[in-house]
Structure 1
Amino acid sequence: MPVTTLRFIVDPIVAPMPGALGRYTGDLARAVVATAPDGCAVEGIVSAVPGEDDERIMNAVPGLAELHRTALPRRELAAAWQLGVPTAAAAGFVHAPSLLAPLRKHDRGEGTQIVVTVHDLLPWTHPEALSGTSVAWHKGMMKRARKHADAVVVPTHALAEQLGMVADFGDRVRVIPTAPRAGLEPGDDASRRREELGLPSDYLVVSGTLEPRKGVVDVLAALGRPDAPDLPLVVIGPESWGEQHLATAADEAGVAPERVRHLDDPEPGLLAAVLAGATAFVAPSHDEGSGTSLIEAFSLGVPVIHSDIPAYAEVSAGAGLAVPDDDDFVDALLAAITAVVDGPALAERLVIAGHDRARAFSWTDSAERVWQLHADL
């Protein structure tokens, strides 16, 4: 019986800084392998990486039928695909977890289909957040996707609508949500791990950088007000952004630097321990394409306070406490934080609503949608 093969681009897993894209790639690829229909197999595509990276990928995504290594290293491969240079990886059913894909003219009737993924539109909305080279590459690949992609996956309907303002993909856009990262379980030693970090019984958590669009500076501004709750803040993210440093930003906002801690990309178990013990998780971003951080907090039973940007509003669906993203954002943010900190009944309602909402997201469901998408094509 012939086997239908889906080729999944797994290169982000072994990128120098895998980050959120590497996690997304690994989580979705594992689920795609696990949900493969009868008569279907999944193979991986990776750039010309060292042999030990091959082993890392096979361990990260067990069950891959085969791993195809291209002739070009990562940077050269990205440049070649931007120019439409043909490679062996362009054949068959190809699923890319980003815009890094062999996008060129092809005939679906001959068994080739290419699906790409867009997670945000920063090159258009906030180009200052990226290097000039990265902005140019993304814009070039988006043009190629508009011409040659059979479908484009986005994590939210909000991003799908925003994407329509950048490129016209017609009915080729498919919304496939994300889910909590693998291993996001507090564990029996969660209390001990929080104690080792010196965390008290009450504290707030925010995720992001000091980049203005992320809203961390707004949280600091809110907590710096004289009437703000006197709680520590744990920042999940780097200690600095450009020339700005977290301690300096806190001090300028009127928050004692010792009240602010940071964890730069903690492993899932530690992140889960920190989130699970938090008084509230604050998601103050002014521009996001997905709401994965909200889903993760919901899944751990943490009251969530978030800006009312479209992606967050869609993912939350009322399970979090929304703050209008307008000129009074800092004041409204402080009011929301105070309401949760001083209102145990409100906090409990948010916990229950978040748990219920988290059940709507799973990598199994996302993977099944991937298979359905390729079947539809």
Structure 2
Amino acid sequence: MPELVVLTDQLLAPVPGGTGRYTRELARALAATAPSGWTVTGVVARCADPSAAQIDGVEGPRMLPVPRPVLARLWQRGVPLWPGGDAVHAPTPLSPTVVKRGRTLVATVHDAVPWTHPETLTPHGAQWHRTMVSRLMRRAGGIVVPTEAVAKELAEHVAGSAPVHVVGHGVPEALTEEPADADAVARRLELPPRYVLAVGTLEPRKGIDVLIAAMDLPEAPDLPVLLVGVTGWGRVDVSSERVRSLGSLTDAELAVVLHRATLLALPSRAEGFGLPLLEAMAAGVPVVHSDAPALVEVAGGAGFTSRRGDPKSLVAALRTVVDEPAVAREAVARGRTRAAEFTWRGAAESVWAVHLGLGTHS
């Protein structure tokens, strides 16, 4: 019986972030759409407690013999440590770069930030990603990217013969509607009646500093800002009277916070896809986003665009949503239609097509 191994170690990272969401949702959908006879197994680095990497429908997780830091170094050095399976899908560049004979490897590369905006990463992180992605582009059977924007940027910066396939993300069912106890959740979180929401790891490339600077301008909408996400690397100053951080939330809590937001702001300096944008459009929430190419692509004209790094441009977009409700309602309708084009099931079926198209599996 052929086995697809999905490297789910990102779920055990200190800050799983958007790639953690991607890993869980894609692995679950791959298991739900597996061709007859195939099994899907999660594999992680050695750790004390792998329970955070347990996924409905996915076998395991099975553990490799070394912890994550060692595994990252071994694979970066090209050590041929194969994680098992007839086919391997790496949802992040944490991946083997030497493929075992008779086996196949496909990896997801989420963005080209290590080349286009290296200053938004740690020097070590940028170098590690450049090394791993470059090797995967040469040695993997296929590369999955979330947008045409990322495909174009990789083609400009990375040499390699691996075919690149554009496969978008989806929206988790848990975020499509509010839970039955939504009002109780809202009271517990002390949600204000109207607010600007920002979702994402608090790190420099997310542009939260631009949002805070925009909301401190005198012409900004008179709304508080709620931040959802844990602190990543780099110092992001969120000290403003208008800003409150909710930290990390469960999916049920996030569904309530998302559905009740006046608008979602995503002023990122760089993105490969922008999951919060898609999730907000699916929830019927107006979206203001930067002109990062991937965000413009995913929004498909259903969002309000501002210039990256420009607080005044961001304020103008925010005010359009707040001051022109009819325009905002039209954008919401376009957003729902656009979001309906993206599903995790569709993403998984496309990823399966990439794996099966390599033609080495019986």
Q: Please report the TM-score for the alignment, with normalisation by the length of structure 2.
A: 0.90
State the alpha-carbon separation in 1 of the partners of residues 21 and 223 from structure 2: 31
Residues in 2 aligned to 1:373 and 1:49: alpha-carbon distance in whole angstroms = 31
Q: Please give the alpha-carbon distance, in whole angstroms, between the structure 2 residues aligned to 1:244 and 1:309.
A: 20
Q: Distance in 1 between matches of 2:60 and 2:243?
A: 46
Match of 1:47 in 2: 45
Gaps of 5+ in 2: none
Instruction: Quote the Cα distance in structure 1 between the aligned partners of 2:233 and 2:38.
Output: 45
- In angstroms, what is the RMSD of aligned CA positions? 2.3
Task: Answer yes or no: is 1:278 the counterpart of 2:261.
Answer: yes
Q: CA deviation at 1:289?
A: 0.8
Distance in 2 separating the partners of 1:301 and 1:366: 22
Measured after TM superposition, the shift of residue 237 of structure 1 is 3.1
Per the TM alignment, residue 239 of structure 1 is displaced from its structure 2 partner at its CA by 6.6
Identify the residue that residue 244 of structure 2 maps to in structure 1. 261
* Equivalent pair of 2:82/2:99 in contact (CA under 8 Å): no
Aligned in 2, Cα 1:261/1:240: closer, same or farther, shift over 3 Å?
Answer: farther
1:347 maps onto 2:328 in alignment: yes
| One of 109, 112, 119 as aligned partner of 1:121 | 112
The structure 1 residue matched to 2:223, chosen from 231, 251, 265, is: 231
* Alignment deviations for residues 64-104 of structure 1 (CA, whole Å, 9 cap, x no partner): 34544222221111111112212242662111101111211
Which residue in 2 is equivalent to 1:306?
289
Q: Counterpart of 1:227 in 2: which secondary structure?
A: coil
CA distance in 2: counterparts of 1:272 and 1:260, whole angstroms: 20
Residue 178 of structure 1 aligns to a residue in which SS?
coil
Distance 1:122 1:303, change over 3 A: same
The structural deviation recorded for 1:321 is 1.6
The reply to whether residue 199 of structure 1 matches residue 182 of structure 2 is no
1:14 to 2:6 alignment: no
How many residues end up aligned between the 2 structures?
357
Contact 1:90 1:102 in 2 (8 A): no
Distance 1:241 1:84, change over 3 A: closer
Cα pair 2:202 2:232 within 8 Å, conserved: yes
The CA deviation at 1:200 is: 2.5
1:371 equivalent in structure 2: 352
Structure 1 distance, partners of 2:82, 2:311, is 52
Correspondence list, 1:241-256, <5 A:
242-247=234-239, 250=240
Pairs within 5 Å for 1:1-377: 3-50=1-48, 52-53=49-50, 55-57=51-53, 60-65=54-59, 67-89=61-83, 92-104=86-98, 107=101, 110=102, 112-170=103-161, 172-181=163-172, 183-184=174-175, 185-208=177-200, 211-238=203-230, 242-247=234-239, 250=240, 257=241, 259-325=242-308, 329-377=310-358
Residues 1:62 and 1:195: Cα distance change in structure 2 (over 3 Å)? closer
Q: Give the Cα separation in 2 of the matches to 1:64 and 1:271.
A: 24
| Paired residues of 1:44 and 1:64 also in contact (CA < 8 A) | yes
Distance in 1 separating the partners of 2:243 and 2:20 = 28
The 8 Å contact of residues 239 and 262 in structure 1, kept in 2 or not, is answered as no
Change (3 A) 1:46 1:217: closer
- Give, in whole Å, the separation in 2 of the partners of 1:210 and 1:6: 33
**Distance across 2 between alignment mates of 1:210 and 1:269:** 21
The 3 A distance-change label for structure 1 pair 354 and 361 is same
Q: Return the offset for 1:302.
A: 0.4
Percent of aligned pairs sharing the same letter: 40
- Paired residues of 1:210 and 1:246 also in contact (CA < 8 A): no
**Structure 1 residue 133 displacement after superposition:** 2.8
SS at 2:193 equivalent: coil
Secondary structure, aligned partner of 1:246: coil
Question: Which amino acid is 2:136 matched to?
Answer: A
Deviates most, 147-156 or 259-268: 259-268
Give, in whole Å, the separation in 2 of the partners of 1:339 and 1:86: 54
Letter in 2 for 1:199: L
Alpha-carbon distance in structure 2 between the residues aligned to 1:40 and 1:295: 30
- Kindly provide the CA deviation profile for residues 291-334 of structure 1, in whole angstroms up to 9, marking residues without a partner as x: 211111011110111122210111111111222447xx322221
Structure ranking higher in helix proportion: 1
> What is the aligned partner in structure 2 of residue 253 from structure 1?
none
TM-score for the superposition, normalised by structure 1? 0.87
Helix, strand or coil for the counterpart of 1:116?
A: strand
Which structure would you say has the larger Rg?
1
Residue 166 of structure 1 deviates from its aligned partner by 1.9
Q: 1:15 to 1:182 in 2, by over 3 A?
A: farther
Q: Which letter does structure 1 place at the counterpart of 2:288?
A: I
Cα 1:216/1:369, change in 2 over 3 Å: same
